[in-house]
A and B are shown apart, each in its own frame.
Chain A
Amino acid sequence: QSVLTQPPSASGTPGQRVTISCSGSSSNIGSNTVNWYHQLPGTAPKLLIYSNNQRPSGVPDRFSGSKSGTSASLAISGLQSEDEADFYCAAWDDSLNGYVFGTGTKVTVL
């Protein structure tokens, strides 16, 4: 089961700012960097944020990531209809000696 906890859902109207939290522990978020992936309906996951707050080429600056202690968060500003997707945080876990994903958050644009 997932060791990183996210809210199951988040929503906002176009143009609003939405924030997704990701709670972990000292063995994962507390000691490793956090990555975020998003998965549009019917498609493969795609890297959205790496190393806590870095955007890959092509990812709009509306998406931003941050980390503090054993928690991380993803913010989407200027929400757009095409942002409707599932979002997952992830990090390496030193105790499990493997990679762990968050429980996932479904973002809905109202």
Chain B
Amino acid sequence: EVQLVQSGAEVKKPGESLKISCKGSGYSFTSSWIAWVRQMPGKGLEWMGIIYPGDSDTRYSPSFLGQVIMSADKSISTAYLQWNSLKASDTAMYYCARRDSSGNQSWFDPWGQGTLVTVSS
């Protein structure tokens, strides 16, 4: 079974750093892109960007470029999303999702269970 398991909820203060994780199993981790998606409280889904664990090629949404860092460690089949200095506005649920495709068509499936990040003084 293809599965993505994310790290647990985090509570941080403004200005602190954070790295959350997404571990893939049941498929070749290096051969599929992994996306990160933000969902702020009570709001919709926002695509943050995508990373290819095979060579760490990364594409950021313009809204998130410079705000977060995506990385991957293929030796342990894990993708990461990192902040160097958190803001209260980073409070949200963060999901990772695997890109599946057929030809030039693609979609995201499955999704991780989500990591809730709360930033508060």
Q: Taking beta carbons and an 8 Å cutoff, which residues of A are in contact with B?
A: 2, 32-33, 35, 37, 44-47, 50-51, 56, 86, 88, 90, 92, 96-104
Contacts and interface: CB of A to CB of B under 8 A. Distances in A.
A101 B61 CA distance: 12
Chain A contact surface mostly: strand
B47 interface: yes
Interface in B40-68: 44-47, 49-50, 59, 61-62
B117 to A, nearest CB: 15
Interface centre among A44, A88, A90, A96 (most CB of B within 10 A): A44
A35 B49 CA distance: 17
A88 B106 contact: no
Given A98-B61, A104-B45, A50 B112 contact: no
Q: Is the interface of B mostly helix, strand, loop or mixed?
A: strand
B72 interface: no
Given A44-B114, A45-B45, A45-B95, A98 B59 contact: yes
Contact of B102 (A46, A51, A99): A51
Nearest to B108: A47
Contacts of B37: 45, 101
A86 B47 CA distance: 17
Contact of B47 (A44, A50, A101): A101
Given A44-B111, A44-B112, A99-B35, A51 B46 contact: no
Interface string B85-96: 000000000010
B121 interface: no
Given A2-B44, A101-B45, A46 B111 contact: yes
Report the 3 A-B pairs with minimum CB-CB distance, sorted nearest first: A47-B109, A50-B107, A104-B44
B77 interface: no
